[in-house]
């Protein structure tokens, strides 16, 4: 499958930028996806057998179609000298190279920043790692590893029961920070004419996420409790079990909201109770207050409370599972989901809806302008773009350099 893919729409800000991506799993592909959604030509270099992320099961089943849209795919055998030379030739045409392999891996093939920048001094090189350079840099990192060692699992679980967050928060945010670094380096290159290497890492990303709790300790002298056991900053800020066992999150985070809360629910006695006069008063009395609210709210339905809180402009949220978001009326109305082609496995060729970047530019969501690629879908067209003939390409295939 070597059809020439469409170009990015001209209105996208990175249209005309070429990115060569040596990445797998989530962190690196997220970085490349952000650049691709913004209009860059992102070339995903896969091994000859294809990116193994394509065939993950369970919680990894959605990785490839989610994080590899708007990209091209070329399969190159980096362990073959001809393949490695071809990869270096491809990188010589790039504005940006991104990789997320172990430290030292790319240098073996002459694909590290020091090697590539000698012939391409304008190159911006993004290394997406488990740890920034230092004592931990050669450790093997996973999102779960850094959540455990970086305080996030402690804060998420109940006391004595550390629990990872329910999605790949560090992988995704680490990729985001990589993209932010690349965008900053592009601006600086426009001023100086030179590229640079930028690095982003899972562990440091995780530390950034829990930084507010570190400063809470520095300011108060009291260690932050895990979220299920925390002292909330707000008197009413919790999940309530209501009629027929349904659950709903309800909040009143200011004194005016508390007054409205009591008015619309008919709790005039609570509004008049001096123990609950201010938010800080309500925080101090929170166990007593919440016990009263739970007893009173259990007879209400989630639908009734939704209607009341929506009309009053109070914070509330139904407890929603990820698969229910496909039918979310706001996402459907605003185009927050876009169809992507599934490329691998039993459902190859089918389509599913994927979440878009959570932003608009000039009033528009950044959509899918190129479907997630089949493995090696653009190998021939990209090699032709480097000046290779079809005979050259077939020769490389016979030598095991490409697939």
Q: In Å, how far from its chain's centre is CA 224?
A: 26
Catalytic, out of 37, 112, 143, 171 = 171
Q: What tokens does 110 get?
A: 């002459």
Q: For residue 302, which of 251, 245, 261 has the smallest C-alpha distance?
A: 245
For residue 158, give the 3-state DSSP assignment. strand
Q: What tokens does 289 get?
A: 């207050």
**Is the Cβ–Cβ distance between 37 and 9 less than 8 Å?**
no
**Is the backbone of residue 41 left (phi > 0), alpha (psi -120 to 50) or beta?**
beta
- DSSP letter for each residue of 290-354: HHHHHHHHTTS-HHHHHHHHHHHT--EEE---GGGGGG-HHHHHHT-EEEEE--SGGGTT-EEEE
**171 has catalytic annotation:** yes
Round to whole Å and give the CA distance between 2 and 29.
22
Q: What is the largest CA-CA distance in the chain?
A: 86
User: Which residues are tagged catalytic?
Assistant: 171
């Amino acid at each position: 499958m070597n059809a020439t893919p469409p170009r990015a729409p001209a209105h996208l800000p990175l249209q005309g930028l070429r990115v060569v991506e040596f990445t797998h799993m989530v962190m690196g592909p997220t970085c490349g996806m952000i650049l691709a959604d913004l209009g860059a030509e992102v070339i995903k270099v896969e091994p000859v057998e294809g990116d193994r992320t394509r065939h993950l099961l369970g919680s990894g089943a959605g990785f490839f179609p989610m994080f590899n849209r708007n990209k091209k795919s070329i399969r190159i055998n980096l362990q073959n000298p001809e393949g490695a030379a071809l990869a270096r030739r491809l990188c010589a045409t790039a504005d940006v190279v991104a990789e997320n392999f172990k430290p030292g891996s790319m240098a073996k093939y002459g694909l590290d920043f020091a090697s590539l920048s000698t012939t391409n001094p304008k190159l911006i090189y993004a290394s997406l790692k488990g740890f920034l350079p230092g004592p931990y840099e050669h450790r093997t990192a996973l999102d779960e590893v850094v959540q455990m060692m970086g305080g996030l699992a402690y804060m998420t679980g109940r006391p004595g029961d550390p629990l990872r967050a329910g999605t790949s928060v560090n992988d995704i945010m680490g990729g985001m920070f990589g993209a932010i670094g690349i965008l900053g380096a592009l601006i600086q290159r426009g001023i100086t004419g030179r590229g640079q290497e930028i690095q982003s890492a899972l562990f440091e990303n995780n530390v950034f996420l829990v930084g507010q709790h570190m400063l809470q300790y520095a300011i108060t002298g009291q260690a932050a409790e895990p979220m299920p056991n925390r002292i909330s900053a707000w008197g009413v800020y919790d999940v309530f079990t209501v009629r027929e066992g349904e659950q709903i999150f309800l909040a009143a985070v200011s004194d005016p909201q508390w007054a409205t809360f009591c008015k619309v629910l008919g709790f005039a006695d609570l509004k008049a109770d001096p123990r609950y006069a201010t938010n800080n008063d309500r925080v101090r009395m929170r166990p007593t207050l919440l016990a009263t609210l739970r007893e009173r709210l259990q007879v209400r339905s989630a639908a009734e409370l939704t209607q009341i809180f929506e009309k009053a402009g109070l914070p509330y949220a139904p407890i929603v599972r990820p698969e229910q978001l496909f039918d979310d009326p706001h996402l459907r109305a605003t185009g927050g989901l876009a169809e992507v082609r599934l490329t691998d496995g039993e459902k190859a060729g089918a389509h599913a809806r994927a979440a878009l970047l959570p932003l608009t530019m000039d009033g528009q969501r950044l959509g899918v302008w190129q479907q997630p690629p089949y493995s090696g879908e653009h190998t021939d067209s990209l090699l032709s773009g480097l000046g290779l003939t079809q005979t050259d390409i077939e020769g490389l295939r016979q030598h095991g350099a490409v697939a």
